[in-house]
Amino acid sequence: MPSARIQELPRSCPLGKCDGSGWIVDDDDLARPCGCRERRIAQARTRGVRTVLPTKYQGVSFDRPPVADMVRDPLTRDVVEIVRAFIDDLDTNVAEGRGLWFEGTVGTGKTTLAMLVSKRAIEAGYSAAIYSLPRLLARIRRTYDGEAGELSYLEFFRRLTSVDLLHIDDLGAEKRSDWVLEQLYAIVDERYASNRSIVVTTNLDHEQLKEQIGERTVSRLAQMCEPLPMHGTDRRWAA
């Protein structure tokens, strides 16, 4: 798979307030910074972090399957509405470091809904980092190689923990080890301390997740995220 590139903000202002320059000029020809300027600066700091949705999810929408089908399903309807409400109040949720925790069996739509949140955040001009847990840990290991052009561990960690939204898919999918526990706790705890949003998906229930990634990390996530249990049949095999 080719390496992901930064998904740049559109030239027009994502807030609809300036001409895309990052500055607002009033009637007296006095310029003041637009709210989008801070977002653009923050996004520039995410270079080296995976910030684009996988191709499969780039068209995800409330109006298209599988999300449109989930709206009609009694087992998932309420979760979809919670996600819709979270996105409708995205500015407040990001500002206050709120997140979502999708938990359920394989194929119930967890990743699709999480990607919908990340897509809307990127469209709104927020910086985001999007990883499956195995890919994230592999990326962290790469920082140890010290190859030319690669970010150091500390720089990658700083960028990963400073984006507006961190999306981790398949939490608990990696084999448990002291190193894995240390990395996950460091990332989650730093985002907790700095009041930054996180969205996670996992196939494990609460107790299983504590066993897999550690009680401290799960406790932090519980304070940051609204848990969203998802039930139903595997939609990947639906006719």
225-230 and 197-202 beta bridge pairing: unpaired
Query: What is the tens place of the pLDDT at every residue in 112-122?
Result: 999 999 999 99
Helix H or strand E encompassing 118: helix 110-123
- Quote the domain boundaries for residue 163: 58-231
In a domain, 213, yes or no: yes
Query: What is the tens place of the pLDDT at every residue in 5-47?
Result: 334 444 577 677 787 777 787 776 667 778 776 666 655 555 6
Q: Does residue 144 have a pLDDT over 90?
A: no
- Please say whether the beta carbons of 183 and 137 come within 8 A: yes
Instruction: Work out how many domains the chain is built from and give that number.
Output: 1
CATH number assigned to the domain comprising residue 117:
3.40.50.300
In a domain, 132, yes or no: yes
Give me the chain's average pLDDT, please: 85
Per DSSP (E only), the strands in the chain are 23-25, 31-33, 99-104, 128-132, 165-169, 197-202, 225-230
Q: How many residues does the chain have?
A: 239
Enumerate residues 6+ apart whose C-beta is below 8 A from 178.
none
pLDDT for res 6? 38
Enumerate residues 6+ apart whose C-beta is below 8 A from 152.
143
pLDDT for res 16? 75
In a domain, 24, yes or no: no
Q: In which residue are the tokens 């400073």 written?
A: 162
Query: What is the tens place of the pLDDT at every residue in 62-110?
Result: 999 999 999 999 999 999 999 999 999 999 999 999 999 999 988 889 9
Q: What is the pTM of this model?
A: 0.79
